[in-house]
Amino acid sequence: MSTLSKSPVRVARQALAIGAQRLRLYAHRFSPKKFTQPQLFACLVLKTFFKTDYRGISQQLVDHSDLRTVLNLKTVPHFTTLHKASKRLLRLARARRLFTSTVRRFLKRRRRLRRAALDSTGLECGHRSSYYVRRRNGTLKRWQTVTYSRYAKLEAAFDCQSHLLVGVLVGRGPRVDTDRFVPLLDDTLTRVHLDAALADAGYDSEPNHRYARETRGVRSFIPATAGRPTTKPPTGKYRRQMKQRLNKTYGAYGQRWQGETGFSMIKRRLTSTVHGRTYWSQCREMLLIAITYNIMLLYLITAFLQSRSGVFSDL
């Protein structure tokens, strides 16, 4: 179930259905009514799917009649229309509702997950050549290895069984992850109930364990490696348990690597770069990436369930 759909028609059909579920047909009663908001949202999803810009997706829609048929487009939106729609449709609150719809559509009635892997990754801002960045330090006669001063940061929680994104936060790095565990866990628990949360050593903190286990009722598993190297056990109750028993008793912690797999799927199939120049445009773009990823994954689980029920004729 962890393979992403390669069909733009199927992705467009799912995006249109999710947009129709969460968005009004028109933003205002006096709008021109040439395109509905679900149609424009589906076009934005296809923009991310095709790894292109606003001009590019407009041309893709001109060239592909199948996409226009699925989206019921009589005319193709101008690229400026799509740019303005992204600012309106991908505002933080609305984008989170659309993201939640992808999770609900995937899980159906199920709300409890056994394990979720919490992690974060960085996305490049721009298209600088890494070779050029290394060569430009030629006066010192050594290769420059750091190619960024800041980057777009995507924090996510993946279902370890299906690689579904169930929690997402967007921001800017570099910054430490210790104080990001609680917000990411809270965002995840607004959509699903977790039995266990698996995170890497960057989230290691005794307050994080106490909040997850005592306040939210979620078993947290994080390697206790923070601080100076020492032979003494950690002072905190839960960090001491992690130090003594994590690799011996909690064999399921190995599933944390499913988070790395999820980020790999996003970067290989969608993008490892954000094109936005401002902070909020980068945040909107990362939320759209998360929504598109779930939609591409959503089609396959829908197709699987339909094939089991014998309803597979329309695909």
- Is the same domain home to 118 and 83? no
In a domain, 78, yes or no: yes
Mean pLDDT across the stretch 227-231?
78
pLDDT band at 13 (very low <50, low <70, confident <90, very high): very high
In a domain, 313, yes or no: no
- Is the same domain home to 161 and 232? yes
- Is the same domain home to 145 and 260? yes
pLDDT tens digit string along 98-132? Answer: 999 999 999 988 889 999 999 999 998 877 666 66
Asked which of 31, 57, 89 is the last residue of a domain, the reply is 89
- Is the same domain home to 47 and 75? yes
In a domain, 297, yes or no: no
- Is the same domain home to 276 and 153? yes
- Is the same domain home to 85 and 153? no
- Is the same domain home to 250 and 178? yes
Q: How many domains does the chain have?
A: 2
Mean pLDDT across the stretch 157-178?
92
pLDDT tens digit string along 20-56? Answer: 999 999 988 888 889 999 999 999 999 999 999 999 9
Token pair in block for residue 240: 């001491």
Domain residue limits at 125: 109-286
- Is the same domain home to 148 and 257? yes
In a domain, 238, yes or no: yes
Give the per-residue pLDDT at 22: 92
Percent of the chain surpassing pLDDT 90 = 63
Give the per-residue pLDDT at 232: 82
- Residue 270 maps to which CATH number? 3.30.420.10
- Is the same domain home to 51 and 123? no
Token pair in block for residue 234: 């950690």
Give the per-residue pLDDT at 25: 92
Mean pLDDT across the stretch 169-179?
91
pLDDT band at 281 (very low <50, low <70, confident <90, very high): very high
Give the per-residue pLDDT at 135: 64
Q: Answer whether residue 312 shows pLDDT above 50.
A: no
More confidently predicted of 79 and 231: 79
In a domain, 252, yes or no: yes
Give the per-residue pLDDT at 215: 94
Neighbours of 125 (CB within 10 A): 18
In a domain, 165, yes or no: yes
pLDDT band at 148 (very low <50, low <70, confident <90, very high): low
Where residue 4 falls (left for φ over 0; alpha for ψ -120 to 50; beta otherwise) is beta
Percent of the chain surpassing pLDDT 70 = 85
- Is the same domain home to 136 and 83? no
Q: Which helix (H) or strand (E) holds 37?
A: helix 37-49
State the Cα–Cα distance between residues 10 and 312, nearest whole angstrom: 13
pLDDT band at 230 (very low <50, low <70, confident <90, very high): confident
In a domain, 22, yes or no: yes
Q: Which helix (H) or strand (E) holds 196?
A: strand 193-199
- Is the same domain home to 155 and 256? yes
DSSP symbols for 267-310: HHHT-SEE--SSHHHHHHHHHHHHHHHHHHHHHHHHHHHHHHHT
More confidently predicted of 198 and 312: 198
In a domain, 76, yes or no: yes
Q: Answer whether residue 309 shows pLDDT above 50.
A: no
pLDDT band at 305 (very low <50, low <70, confident <90, very high): very low
- Is the same domain home to 115 and 16? no
Give the per-residue pLDDT at 299: 64
Mean pLDDT across the stretch 56-64?
94
Give the per-residue pLDDT at 89: 94
State the Cα–Cα distance between residues 213 and 201, nearest whole angstrom: 17
Averaged confidence pLDDT in the chain? 86
